[in-house]
Structure 1
Amino acid sequence: MRPSTRLLASPTTTPFRPGRRAPALALLPPIPLYRRLLRIHRKKLGTEERVFGDTYLKAEFRRHRDIENPLHIVGFLTEWQQYGQQLEGDDWKEQKIEPALMDKLSDQQIGQMYELMQAIQKRGRDSVDEEEDGPVLRAIEEATKGGSGNS
Structure 2
Amino acid sequence: MRVSLLRLAESVTSKPLNLQEASATLFPPIPLYRRLLRAHRSLPKEMRGLGDDYVKAEFRRHKEVTNPVHIIGFLSQWKMYLDELPRDAHAKSFSGKRLDSTVFEKMSPEQLGQLYELMHATKDVWKPIPEENS
1:16 maps to none
Greater helix share, structure number: 1
Deviations 1:33-57 (A, max 9, x none): 11111111012x1101101111111
Distance in 2 of aligned mates of 1:96 and 1:103? 14
Instruction: Describe the SS at the equivalent of 2:63.
Output: coil
Pairing 1:80-91 to 2, within 5 Å after superposition: 80-88=78-86
Pairing 1:10-21 to 2, within 5 Å after superposition: none
User: Residues 99, 62 of structure 1: CA spacing in aligned structure 2 closer, same or farther, 3 A cutoff?
Assistant: same
After TM superposition, give the deviation of residue 85 of structure 1 in Å.
Answer: 0.3
1:26 maps to 25
Q: How many residues are treated as equivalent by the alignment?
A: 109
Distance in 1 of aligned mates of 2:34 and 2:124? 31
User: Residues 124, 84 of structure 1: CA spacing in aligned structure 2 closer, same or farther, 3 A cutoff?
Assistant: closer
Distance in 1 of aligned mates of 2:76 and 2:108? 20
Distance in 1 of aligned mates of 2:125 and 2:86? 25
Q: 2:47–2:125: 8 Å Cα contact kept in structure 1? A: no
User: Residues 37, 94 of structure 1: CA spacing in aligned structure 2 closer, same or farther, 3 A cutoff?
Assistant: closer
Deviant stretches of 4+, over 4 Å: 89-92
2:108 maps to 106
Instruction: Describe the SS at the equivalent of 1:28.
Output: coil
Task: Give me the CA root mean square deviation.
Answer: 2.5
Q: 2:41–2:48: 8 Å Cα contact kept in structure 1? A: yes
Identity of aligned residues (%): 45
Instruction: Describe the SS at the equivalent of 1:68.
Output: coil
Distance in 2 of aligned mates of 1:54 and 1:119? 13
The structure with higher relative contact order (CA 8 Å, sep 6+) is: 2
Q: Does 1:119 align with 2:117?
A: no
Distance in 1 of aligned mates of 2:125 and 2:45? 14
Structure 2 gaps of 5+ residues are 1-20
Instruction: Describe the SS at the equivalent of 1:93.
Output: coil
User: Residues 33, 108 of structure 1: CA spacing in aligned structure 2 closer, same or farther, 3 A cutoff?
Assistant: same
Pairing 1:1-150 to 2, within 5 Å after superposition: 25-43=24-42, 45-88=43-86, 93=95, 95-125=97-127, 127-128=128-129, 131-132=130-131, 135=132
Q: 2:46–2:125: 8 Å Cα contact kept in structure 1? A: no
Distance in 2 of aligned mates of 1:32 and 1:94? 23
Distance in 1 of aligned mates of 2:123 and 2:96? 16
After TM superposition, give the deviation of residue 93 of structure 1 in Å.
Answer: 1.2
Instruction: Describe the SS at the equivalent of 1:113.
Output: helix
TM-score, normalised to structure 2, is: 0.68
